[in-house]
């Protein structure tokens, strides 16, 4: 799991792109029925995974622990 930090950030960026595309769609259609999904994609997925990636980057010893392997 040497690249766990990069994996977290890469997946976070994919969630960010998906969330932004959904936001653009909602803006174009002027329909806020999917607002909860958009917020969940951006906050829960993107922000959380990006924070995990930063934590693993700042403390490389965590990537070698048993928690990172699971």
State the residue range of the domain holding 64.
Answer: 4-69
Instruction: Encode the chain (70 residues) as per-residue pLDDT tens digits.
Output: 568 888 999 999 999 999 999 999 999 999 999 999 999 999 989 999 999 899 888 887 777 777 665 5
What is the predicted pLDDT for the residue at 67? 65
Angle at 48 between CA 52 and CA 10, to 5 degrees: 65
Structural domain count of the chain: 1
Which residues make Cβ contacts (< 8 Å) with residue 54, sequence separation at least 6? Answer: 5, 9
Return the axis-axis angle of helices 4-29 and 48-58, rounded to nearest 10°: 160
What is the predicted pLDDT for the residue at 1? 57
Q: How far apart are CA 27 and CA 40, in angstroms?
A: 17
Q: How far apart are CA 54 and CA 36, in angstroms?
A: 26
């Amino acid at each position: 799991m040497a690249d766990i930090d990069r994996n977290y950030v890469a997946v976070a960026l994919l969630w960010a792109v998906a969330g932004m595309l959904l936001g653009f769609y909602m803006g174009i259609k002027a329909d806020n029925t999917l607002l909860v999904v958009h917020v969940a994609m951006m906050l829960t997925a993107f922000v959380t995974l990006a924070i995990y990636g930063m934590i693993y980057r700042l403390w490389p010893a965590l990537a070698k622990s048993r928690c990172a392997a699971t």
